[in-house]
Amino acid sequence: MNPVIVYSVVVLGLVAAGAAVILFVVAKKFRVDEDPRIDEVTEMLPGANCGGCGYPGCRGLAEALVAAADKGDLGNLMCPPGGNDVMNRIGEYLGLAVEEAGPTVAVVRCGGTRAKAPAKLDYDGPERCAIAHTLFAGESGCPYGCLGLGDCVTACDFDAIHMNAETGLPEVDDEKCVSCGACVTACPRNLIEIRPQGRKGRRVWVACLNREPGGVARKACKAACIGCGKCVKACPEKVQAITLENNLAYIDPAKCIGCGKCILACPTGAILATFEPVKPKPKPAAAEAAPSGS
């Protein structure tokens, strides 16, 4: 046989054998013993590595979950994109009870559209909310409102939030939002809040964070919360979900039943919802009017 072929086969064979031995020895000697459950839990997690749980990647959360399981209490550990399905599976596997959490979604708490909060100034600079926030209150003059430059959109890994070119405000896609919280961190004005999706997707929120007195707030934006308190009064007595502090109303999502009465009561339209509130039917006038001639 051709000696070149013989030599090639022998030499390559020896190299391969040598490499195999080295790899085998190293794998054995430097083996890291890990709890096999970590790999299992990591498999169960969505694998998006979004960081919404507060841990570095899905594997980070898996390690924390296994450590918590050994203590016997899962605590606050939760995977927002995975939701209840994933958490239940993990809870079952680790042998721990999991608290069911309602589905949540990111909510943008500003109603200052281009129409409602017209621009009085012209911003000329990089399209970064974090930077514009250090320069001035905003083109409309509201120091709490959305700057419209899209840091939240850039932060989202799930394509769930986009700028509406007409209104100038970001809009969240319920279907895609996994409540990872990236947009919440990105917004320099803390406008975005993770709130429960609400029964059948019905949720109500005050779309304003302006704590200035009503008159000042209205100058910048027609849809500002002026702190009049009408919503607090409109909220049914048994519910009492709305609090008023520093000229600003806040609806507690845990208590809110989604009746929509506060939306009708609000004089500026600062309260928004995912549904149209039902206006109460006008009372019939016949019972009041005195019959003529008596």
Rounded to whole angstroms, how far apart are CA atoms 209 and 192? 10
Determine if 288 is a binding residue for another protein (CB under 8 A): no
Determine if 137 is a binding residue for another protein (CB under 8 A): yes
Residues facing residue 194 across a β-bridge: 106
Q: What angle do CA 213, 250, 179 make, to 5 degrees?
A: 130
How many residues line the site for another protein (CB under 8 A)? 20
Q: At 218, phi and psi to the nearest 5?
A: -65, -30
Q: Which two tokens stand for residue 113?
A: 């559209």
Of 100-108, 128-136, 222-230, 253-261, the segment contacting another protein by CB under 8 A is 128-136
Rounded to whole angstroms, how far apart are CA atoms 117 and 191? 16
Of 57-65, 129-137, 156-164, 195-203, the segment contacting another protein by CB under 8 A is 129-137
Residue selected from 95, 125, 280, 293 as contacting another protein according to rule CB under 8 A:
125
Minimum distance between the CB of residue 128 and another protein, rounded to whole angstroms?
A: 7
Residue selected from 128, 162, 202, 218 as contacting another protein according to rule CB under 8 A:
128
Determine if 153 is a binding residue for another protein (CB under 8 A): no
Determine if 115 is a binding residue for another protein (CB under 8 A): no
- For residues 245 and 276, which CB has a smaller minimum distance to another protein in the complex? 245
Determine if 131 is a binding residue for another protein (CB under 8 A): yes
Determine if 56 is a binding residue for another protein (CB under 8 A): no
Closest by Cα among 81, 102, 109, 78 to 91: 78
Of 69-77, 123-131, 224-232, 276-284, the segment contacting another protein by CB under 8 A is 123-131
Residue selected from 75, 126, 229, 267 as contacting another protein according to rule CB under 8 A:
126
Structural contact between residues 276 and 254, judged by C-beta atoms closer than 8 angstroms: no
Determine if 120 is a binding residue for another protein (CB under 8 A): yes
Minimum distance between the CB of residue 161 and another protein, rounded to whole angstroms?
A: 18
Look at the alpha carbons of 208, 213, 218, 222 in this order and tell me if their dihedral is positive or negative.
positive
- For residues 59 and 128, which CB has a smaller minimum distance to another protein in the complex? 128
Residue selected from 130, 171, 246, 255 as contacting another protein according to rule CB under 8 A:
130
Closest by Cα among 221, 67, 258 to 147: 221
Rounded to whole angstroms, how far apart are CA atoms 240 and 231? 10
Q: Which two tokens stand for residue 173?
A: 């896609």
* CA dihedral of 230, 231, 237, 238, whole degrees rounded to 10: 180
Minimum distance between the CB of residue 42 and another protein, rounded to whole angstroms?
A: 27
Residue selected from 55, 93, 123, 275 as contacting another protein according to rule CB under 8 A:
123
Rounded to whole angstroms, how far apart are CA atoms 63 and 146? 38
Rounded to whole angstroms, how far apart are CA atoms 152 and 169? 11
Residue selected from 76, 134, 292, 294 as contacting another protein according to rule CB under 8 A:
134
Rounded to whole angstroms, how far apart are CA atoms 130 and 208? 19
| C-alpha to C-alpha distances, 136 to 139, 219, 252, 273, nearest whole angstrom | 8, 16, 30, 29
34-56 burial code (b ≥16 CB/10 A, e <16)? eeebbeebbebbeebebbbbebe
Minimum distance between the CB of residue 211 and another protein, rounded to whole angstroms?
A: 11
Footprint (CB under 8 A) of another protein, residues 197-216:
212, 216
Residue selected from 10, 21, 135, 278 as contacting another protein according to rule CB under 8 A:
135
Binding site for another protein (CB under 8 A): 119-126, 128, 130-131, 134-137, 139, 141, 143, 212, 216
